[in-house]
Amino acid sequence: MRILLIEDERKIASFIERGLKEEDYCIDVAGDGAKGLFLAEINPYDLIILDIMLPGKDGISICRELRDKKISAPILMLTARDRVHDKVRGLNSGADDYLTKPFAFDELLARVRALLRRRDDTKSPILKVADLELDQLTHKIRRAGREIDLSSKEYALLEYLMIHAHQVVTRTMISEHVWNEDFDSFTNVIDVYINYLRNKVDKGFEKQLIHTLRGTGYILKG
Protein backbone atom coordinates (compact mmCIF):
# COMPACT_ATOMS: atom_id res chain seq x y z
CA MET A 1 0.00 0.00 0.00
CA ARG A 2 1.46 3.30 -1.06
CA ILE A 3 0.82 6.51 0.84
CA LEU A 4 1.53 10.16 0.05
CA LEU A 5 2.19 12.51 2.96
CA ILE A 6 1.94 16.27 2.33
CA GLU A 7 3.38 18.04 5.36
CA ASP A 8 5.89 20.89 5.59
CA GLU A 9 6.94 20.39 9.20
CA ARG A 10 9.99 18.20 8.94
CA LYS A 11 9.73 16.73 12.44
CA ILE A 12 6.13 15.63 12.06
CA ALA A 13 6.74 14.39 8.53
CA SER A 14 9.66 12.19 9.54
CA PHE A 15 7.78 10.91 12.61
CA ILE A 16 4.90 9.78 10.39
CA GLU A 17 7.19 8.50 7.64
CA ARG A 18 9.27 6.39 10.04
CA GLY A 19 6.23 4.91 11.74
CA LEU A 20 4.43 4.00 8.53
CA LYS A 21 7.56 2.44 7.06
CA GLU A 22 7.82 0.23 10.10
CA GLU A 23 4.26 -0.88 9.38
CA ASP A 24 5.32 -1.94 5.86
CA TYR A 25 3.67 0.95 4.05
CA CYS A 26 5.47 2.54 1.18
CA ILE A 27 5.51 6.32 1.64
CA ASP A 28 6.43 9.45 -0.31
CA VAL A 29 6.72 12.80 1.45
CA ALA A 30 6.01 16.19 -0.14
CA GLY A 31 7.06 19.30 1.80
CA ASP A 32 4.55 21.57 0.07
CA GLY A 33 1.27 21.44 -1.80
CA ALA A 34 2.72 21.93 -5.28
CA LYS A 35 5.00 18.91 -4.94
CA GLY A 36 2.15 16.96 -3.33
CA LEU A 37 -0.19 17.68 -6.24
CA PHE A 38 2.53 16.76 -8.71
CA LEU A 39 3.25 13.42 -7.02
CA ALA A 40 -0.47 12.63 -6.65
CA GLU A 41 -0.95 13.13 -10.38
CA ILE A 42 1.87 10.85 -11.48
CA ASN A 43 1.56 8.07 -8.89
CA PRO A 44 -1.43 5.89 -7.98
CA TYR A 45 -1.58 6.36 -4.20
CA ASP A 46 -3.81 4.21 -2.00
CA LEU A 47 -4.12 7.01 0.58
CA ILE A 48 -3.12 10.67 0.99
CA ILE A 49 -2.33 12.29 4.34
CA LEU A 50 -2.67 16.04 3.96
CA ASP A 51 -1.77 18.73 6.45
CA ILE A 52 -4.02 21.80 6.39
CA MET A 53 -1.36 24.34 7.37
CA LEU A 54 1.03 24.45 4.45
CA PRO A 55 3.11 27.27 2.97
CA GLY A 56 1.53 28.70 -0.19
CA LYS A 57 -1.61 26.76 -1.00
CA ASP A 58 -3.27 25.34 2.10
CA GLY A 59 -4.52 21.79 2.53
CA ILE A 60 -8.13 22.74 1.80
CA SER A 61 -7.28 24.09 -1.67
CA ILE A 62 -5.00 21.12 -2.34
CA CYS A 63 -7.80 18.75 -1.36
CA ARG A 64 -10.23 20.49 -3.74
CA GLU A 65 -7.68 20.37 -6.55
CA LEU A 66 -7.03 16.67 -5.96
CA ARG A 67 -10.75 15.95 -6.23
CA ASP A 68 -11.11 18.24 -9.28
CA LYS A 69 -8.38 16.21 -10.93
CA LYS A 70 -10.44 13.09 -10.21
CA ILE A 71 -7.87 11.70 -7.79
CA SER A 72 -10.06 9.48 -5.66
CA ALA A 73 -7.60 8.12 -3.08
CA PRO A 74 -8.96 8.53 0.47
CA ILE A 75 -7.64 11.71 2.10
CA LEU A 76 -6.84 12.00 5.80
CA MET A 77 -6.47 15.62 6.88
CA LEU A 78 -4.30 16.81 9.71
CA THR A 79 -5.75 19.81 11.51
CA ALA A 80 -4.78 22.01 14.45
CA ARG A 81 -6.67 21.53 17.70
CA ASP A 82 -8.07 25.03 17.96
CA ARG A 83 -9.39 25.27 14.44
CA VAL A 84 -12.67 23.40 14.52
CA HIS A 85 -14.00 25.10 11.39
CA ASP A 86 -11.03 23.66 9.46
CA LYS A 87 -12.41 20.18 10.04
CA VAL A 88 -15.73 21.12 8.53
CA ARG A 89 -14.05 22.89 5.61
CA GLY A 90 -11.76 19.90 5.15
CA LEU A 91 -14.58 17.39 4.98
CA ASN A 92 -16.55 19.71 2.69
CA SER A 93 -13.59 19.95 0.34
CA GLY A 94 -13.52 16.21 -0.19
CA ALA A 95 -11.43 14.79 2.67
CA ASP A 96 -12.57 11.44 4.12
CA ASP A 97 -11.43 11.88 7.69
CA TYR A 98 -9.37 14.22 9.86
CA LEU A 99 -6.98 13.90 12.75
CA THR A 100 -6.25 16.67 15.22
CA LYS A 101 -2.65 17.56 16.05
CA PRO A 102 -0.92 16.56 18.24
CA PHE A 103 -1.72 12.87 17.92
CA ALA A 104 -0.17 9.58 18.96
CA PHE A 105 1.16 7.47 16.14
CA ASP A 106 -1.22 4.60 16.97
CA GLU A 107 -4.13 6.96 16.47
CA LEU A 108 -2.89 7.88 13.01
CA LEU A 109 -2.28 4.23 12.16
CA ALA A 110 -5.82 3.29 13.19
CA ARG A 111 -7.27 6.00 10.90
CA VAL A 112 -5.01 4.97 8.04
CA ARG A 113 -6.04 1.33 8.35
CA ALA A 114 -9.71 2.22 8.63
CA LEU A 115 -9.58 4.36 5.48
CA LEU A 116 -7.71 1.71 3.51
CA ARG A 117 -10.20 -0.91 4.67
CA ARG A 118 -13.25 1.22 3.97
CA ARG A 119 -12.64 0.93 0.23
CA ASP A 120 -13.41 -2.74 0.51
CA ASP A 121 -15.47 -3.12 3.61
CA THR A 122 -17.07 -6.45 2.86
CA LYS A 123 -13.79 -8.27 2.41
CA SER A 124 -12.14 -10.25 5.16
CA PRO A 125 -8.63 -9.07 6.10
CA ILE A 126 -7.33 -12.53 5.22
CA LEU A 127 -6.23 -13.03 1.65
CA LYS A 128 -6.07 -16.65 0.46
CA VAL A 129 -4.56 -18.27 -2.58
CA ALA A 130 -4.48 -22.08 -2.52
CA ASP A 131 -2.88 -22.95 0.85
CA LEU A 132 -1.23 -19.54 1.23
CA GLU A 133 -2.83 -17.10 3.68
CA LEU A 134 -1.98 -13.48 4.43
CA ASP A 135 -3.63 -11.54 7.24
CA GLN A 136 -3.67 -7.84 6.36
CA LEU A 137 -4.30 -6.84 9.97
CA THR A 138 -1.63 -8.83 11.77
CA HIS A 139 0.69 -9.21 8.74
CA LYS A 140 1.01 -12.93 9.50
CA ILE A 141 1.61 -15.24 6.58
CA ARG A 142 1.01 -18.97 6.52
CA ARG A 143 1.47 -21.64 3.92
CA ALA A 144 -0.11 -25.02 4.61
CA GLY A 145 -0.54 -23.83 8.19
CA ARG A 146 3.13 -23.07 8.71
CA GLU A 147 4.08 -19.50 9.53
CA ILE A 148 6.39 -17.68 7.11
CA ASP A 149 8.59 -14.83 8.24
CA LEU A 150 8.95 -12.00 5.72
CA SER A 151 10.82 -8.70 5.71
CA SER A 152 8.75 -5.55 5.39
CA LYS A 153 9.39 -5.19 1.64
CA GLU A 154 8.73 -8.88 0.99
CA TYR A 155 5.44 -8.55 2.85
CA ALA A 156 4.41 -5.50 0.82
CA LEU A 157 5.21 -7.29 -2.43
CA LEU A 158 3.38 -10.48 -1.49
CA GLU A 159 0.36 -8.51 -0.28
CA TYR A 160 0.21 -6.71 -3.61
CA LEU A 161 0.49 -9.98 -5.57
CA MET A 162 -2.21 -11.56 -3.42
CA ILE A 163 -4.61 -8.62 -3.80
CA HIS A 164 -4.19 -9.11 -7.55
CA ALA A 165 -4.13 -12.91 -7.48
CA HIS A 166 -4.89 -14.63 -10.80
CA GLN A 167 -4.13 -11.38 -12.64
CA VAL A 168 -0.99 -10.40 -14.47
CA VAL A 169 0.97 -7.90 -12.41
CA THR A 170 3.52 -5.91 -14.38
CA ARG A 171 6.82 -4.59 -13.05
CA THR A 172 5.43 -1.07 -13.49
CA MET A 173 2.43 -1.87 -11.29
CA ILE A 174 4.73 -3.30 -8.65
CA SER A 175 7.13 -0.38 -8.76
CA GLU A 176 4.22 2.07 -8.46
CA HIS A 177 2.51 0.41 -5.51
CA VAL A 178 5.25 -1.29 -3.55
CA TRP A 179 8.17 1.09 -3.97
CA ASN A 180 8.31 4.85 -3.45
CA GLU A 181 9.66 7.78 -5.47
CA ASP A 182 13.27 6.75 -4.80
CA PHE A 183 12.77 3.57 -6.81
CA ASP A 184 15.21 3.20 -9.69
CA SER A 185 13.37 1.37 -12.46
CA PHE A 186 16.61 0.38 -14.16
CA THR A 187 17.61 -1.98 -11.38
CA ASN A 188 16.53 -5.59 -11.09
CA VAL A 189 15.38 -5.08 -7.52
CA ILE A 190 11.87 -6.43 -8.23
CA ASP A 191 13.28 -9.69 -9.61
CA VAL A 192 15.53 -9.94 -6.59
CA TYR A 193 12.57 -9.59 -4.23
CA ILE A 194 10.48 -12.05 -6.26
CA ASN A 195 13.30 -14.53 -5.76
CA TYR A 196 13.38 -13.89 -2.02
CA LEU A 197 9.63 -14.52 -1.94
CA ARG A 198 9.92 -17.70 -3.97
CA ASN A 199 12.49 -19.02 -1.54
CA LYS A 200 10.20 -18.37 1.39
CA VAL A 201 6.79 -19.08 -0.10
CA ASP A 202 7.29 -21.72 -2.80
CA LYS A 203 10.50 -23.54 -1.97
CA GLY A 204 9.85 -27.08 -0.74
CA PHE A 205 6.26 -27.10 -1.99
CA GLU A 206 5.15 -29.17 -4.91
CA LYS A 207 2.85 -26.46 -6.22
CA GLN A 208 4.49 -23.17 -7.20
CA LEU A 209 2.29 -20.12 -6.66
CA ILE A 210 4.49 -17.32 -8.02
CA HIS A 211 4.87 -17.49 -11.78
CA THR A 212 6.98 -15.33 -14.08
CA LEU A 213 5.55 -14.24 -17.41
CA ARG A 214 8.60 -13.52 -19.48
CA GLY A 215 8.76 -9.90 -20.58
CA THR A 216 5.44 -9.08 -18.91
CA GLY A 217 5.56 -9.52 -15.18
CA TYR A 218 4.24 -11.98 -12.65
CA ILE A 219 1.12 -13.82 -11.67
CA LEU A 220 0.28 -15.40 -8.34
CA LYS A 221 -2.14 -18.27 -8.67
CA GLY A 222 -2.97 -21.59 -7.07
Residues 149-208 that bind Ca ion (CB under 5 A): none
**Number of chain residues interacting with Ca ion (CB under 5 A):** 4
In whole angstroms, how close is the CB of 7 to Ca ion at the nearest point?
6
In whole angstroms, how close is the CB of 60 to Ca ion at the nearest point?
13
Residues 10-69 that bind Ca ion (CB under 5 A): 51, 53
In whole angstroms, how close is the CB of 55 to Ca ion at the nearest point?
8
In whole angstroms, how close is the CB of 91 to Ca ion at the nearest point?
18
3-state per-residue secondary structure call for 9-73: CHHHHHHHHHHHHHCCCEEEEECCHHHHHHHHHHCCCCEEEEECCCCCCCHHHHHHHHHHCCCCC
Q: Can residue 9 be called a binding residue for Ca ion (CB under 5 A)?
A: yes
In whole angstroms, how close is the CB of 212 to Ca ion at the nearest point?
44
Which region, judged by CB under 5 A, interacts with Ca ion, from 5-13, 144-152, 159-167, 206-214? 5-13
Contact 213, 188 (CB under 8 A): no
Q: Calculate ∠ Cα 20-156-177, nearest 5°.
A: 85
In whole angstroms, give the CA distance from residue 35 to residue 6: 8
3-state per-residue secondary structure call for 136-197: CCCCCEEECCEEECCCHHHHHHHHHHHHCCCCCEEHHHHHHHHCCCCCCCCCCHHHHHHHHH
Give me the residues that bind Ca ion (CB under 5 A), please: 8-9, 51, 53
